[in-house]
Structure 1
Amino acid sequence: MTSPSESPAAALTVDVVAALADRYGVPAEAIRSVPGGVANHAYALGNHLFLRIPRTPAFERDLRKEVAVIPIARAAGVRTPAIVDFDDTQTLLATPYLVCEQVHGTPLDAIPHQADDALWFELGRELATLHRVPPTPIPGVEADGGEDPRPEVDRLARDGYIDPGTASWLLTWFDRLARRFDPDQPHVLLHGDIAAQNLLVNPRTTALAAVIDWGDAAWGPPGMEFAKLPLDQVAATLRGYGNREYGVLEAAALWYHLSWGLSGLARPPRAGERHWTAPPASRLLGMLRFFAGSPPAPWSTLT
């Protein structure tokens, strides 16, 4: 979990840095702030440990969820850093924090060159492994089946975001997709945020090193797992997913892409955000780009 560091131990007091150094056996000068995500401040503790501290109390719940999910994912065989310590006593910091093994990789979205299909094939195998975890209660991990998108289509038409003819076409498309997969199929354990920033890779080869950030984990339909990658990457990932019924996961992934793309159409722009779907039209334009490129079957049969 490494990337270019900020100023040493930025945002931590000298006393806290000294206490962390003593507790985890690293020199104080080896505690480095690392550019993190939305939910957590991140620090490298030397070369072997990684510290994550929730940015606000609202994100503490996600951190606790990660503590529950990570051992289960690792026991199943998913490549993700092991937990070394979780401290919620609030004796050292005024918030719970998590220390994991440090994986020496770079987030995929920080790599200047594009990953090849081998990475996505590897990711497909990892996700298939995760989705085979037997259903069992996991603290903090709730069910998320998504909502039927067809009422949203009607709302967009009423509010003038799409014309009635387009609304009718979209409703027919959703009906066709629903015949290709079961939106109420049994739930599996989802990572919930499979996106480039949560995939650590070898910066030279882009081989997959680890899947990180389990704060959005949920029980949900398998197709929902593939809704945060561009469709060309989804297509490459599903090639590694293994035995499955022809076209079913593709139809499900497309259902969620189309659904979430439409639900974001009316929201205001969010400049400067890291995720590729932050611009309101990004997801829908990504779908247009994918299908304009003449994708192979079964994708070509889903429009």
Structure 2
Amino acid sequence: MDRMLDDVRLLAHRYDVAPADVHEVPGGVANRGFVLGPRLFVRVARSGFEDDLRKETAVVPVARAAGVRTPAILEYDESRAQVDASYVVVERIHGVEPLTTPSEVALELARLHSAERVSLPGVADDGWGEPRATVADLATRGYLDTGTADWLTGWFDRLERRFDRSAPPVLLHGDVAPHNLLVDPADGSLQALIDWGDAAWGPRAIDFAKLRLTEVAHLLPAYLAATTLTADELAAGILYLHLSWALAKLPTAPWPSQRHWTAPPTSRVLNLLTFFTTNPPHPWPTLT
């Protein structure tokens, strides 16, 4: 017996949706998702992820006001009176997960990053991190030789001179990846950016750090056209994060059966290698 499914079916009745039209969508680390007929979708927080769902209810209205395509929230309840968990009812967007990141994502991110900073409950500040400490730790633990550690530290030094670490933070989605995008199955056009549980205020480069660099290079011109940034400074910041996160991932244990490309410990490092050996466009070759 699945009590959660039974609770959601009772919830569906309030929206005039028959129990037979309630179906669970597989997957979801932070939430269980349920289709309620053709118009509605319910996300129920798994234990320990209630704060992420609460955060979404604060972020989504701001994102939508900025023009970002994301489903409207119709109801949020954390009382456990109807469902034995926090849940949110949103409009259902008919779409599928893309195989690659559609180009329209660039404009969605430009709109999101233009949102005025306001107080949003649960939305913390994120930052650049301290990659030199990561390099030093890897050298101490024997993952890097001294010469390579010095070379990497110099690379981070050069990249930092090309962007402003103190630039005002922007509103971030925090997990821009194909599994959080919905596209039209017929023509591949972007329908929605979903799942705001990782939203934060921080450097705009973070929203490009979970995409492969080949995808980032493809998206960057459209994004830059909607901002006042230069390609050099944004690309330098993005590469700074990709390199930093790639190194931090190296000593972690393998995580089998995960679909995201960054799950294996060496994926990010190998993505950097692949990207820079396939003739990337300007300004990427100048950043090494």
Q: TM class, shorter-chain normalised?
A: over 0.9
Map of 1:55 onto structure 2: 46
Displacement of 1:13 after TM fit?
Answer: 5.4
Query: What is the aligned partner in structure 2 of residue 215 from structure 1?
Result: 197
What are the Cα deviations for residues 78-123 of structure 1, in whole angstroms up to 9, with x where unaligned? Answer: 0000001111221111211001000000112xx4xx56xxx22x11
Letter in 2 for 1:236: H
**Distance change (3 Å), C-alpha of 1:18 and 1:300:** closer
Output the CA distance in 1 between the equivalents of 2:276 and 2:166: 26
Structure 1 partner of 2:112: 130
The structural deviation recorded for 1:253 is 0.5
CA shift at 1:166, angstroms? 0.9
What amino acid maps onto 2:254 in structure 1? P
Compared CA separation, residues 287 and 36, structure 1 to 2 (3 A): same
Partner residue, 2:261: 276
* 2:139 counterpart residue number: 157
Tell me, yes or no, if structure 1 residue 258 matches structure 2 residue 243: yes
Q: What's the CA shift string for 1:243-269, capped at 9, x where partnerless?
A: 322311100000000000100100000
Q: How far off is 1:51 after superposition?
A: 0.5
Alignment partner of 1:147 is 2:147? no
Partner of 1:237: 219
Query: Quick check: 1:302 aligned with 2:261?
Result: no
| 8 Å contact from structure 1 (residues 187, 222) kept in 2 | yes
Q: 1:148 offset after TM fit, Å? A: 1.4
What is the TM-score when the length of structure 1 is the normalising length? 0.91
Question: What is the rounded CA distance, in whole Å, between the counterparts of 1:204 and 1:230 in structure 2?
Answer: 24
Q: In the alignment, what sits opposite 1:3?
A: none
1-structure distance, mates of 2:79, 2:163: 46
The number of residues matched between the two structures is: 285
CA distance in 2, matches of 1:222, 1:15: 41
Q: Distance in 1 between matches of 2:5 and 2:86?
A: 19
The whole-number CA distance in structure 1 between the counterparts of 2:62 and 2:2 is 32
Q: Does 1:23 align with 2:8?
A: no
Structure 2 residue matching 1:33: 3-state secondary structure: strand
Structure 2: any 5+ residue segments left out of the alignment?
A: none
The AA in structure 1 aligned to 2:193 is: V
Distance in structure 2 (CA, Å) of the matches to 1:142 and 1:24: 34
SS at match of 2:89: strand
Gaps of 5+ in 1: 1-9
Q: Is the Cα–Cα contact under 8 Å of residues 145 and 184 in structure 1 kept in the other structure?
A: no
Aligned to 1:73, which of 58, 63, 66? 63
Q: Structure 1 residue aligned with 2:95, among 86, 96, 105?
A: 105
Structure 1 runs of 4+ with >3 Å offset: 10-15
Candidates 199, 210, 229, aligned match of 1:228 = 210
SS at match of 1:247: helix
State whether structure 2 residue 82 is matched by structure 1 residue 92. Answer: yes
TM-score, normalised on structure 2?
0.95
Q: CA RMSD in A?
A: 1.4
- Taking a change above 3 Å as real, the CA distance of residues 136 and 13 of structure 1, as seen in their structure-2 partners, is closer
Contact 2:235 2:283 survives alignment (8 Å):
yes
> Cα distance, 1:146 vs. partner?
3.2
Which deviations, in whole Å up to 9, do the C-alpha atoms of 1:176-202 show, x marking residues without a partner?
100110122110000000011001111
Counterparts of 1:226 and 1:11, CA distance in 2: 38
Deviation at 1:139, TM superposition (A): 0.7
Distance 1:15 1:200, change over 3 A: closer
**What's the CA shift for 1:21?**
2.7
SS in 1 for 2:82: coil
CA distance in 2 between partners of 1:189 and 1:264 (Å): 25
Report if the CA contact (8 A) 2:180-2:193 is conserved.
yes
CA distance in 2, matches of 1:194, 1:11: 32
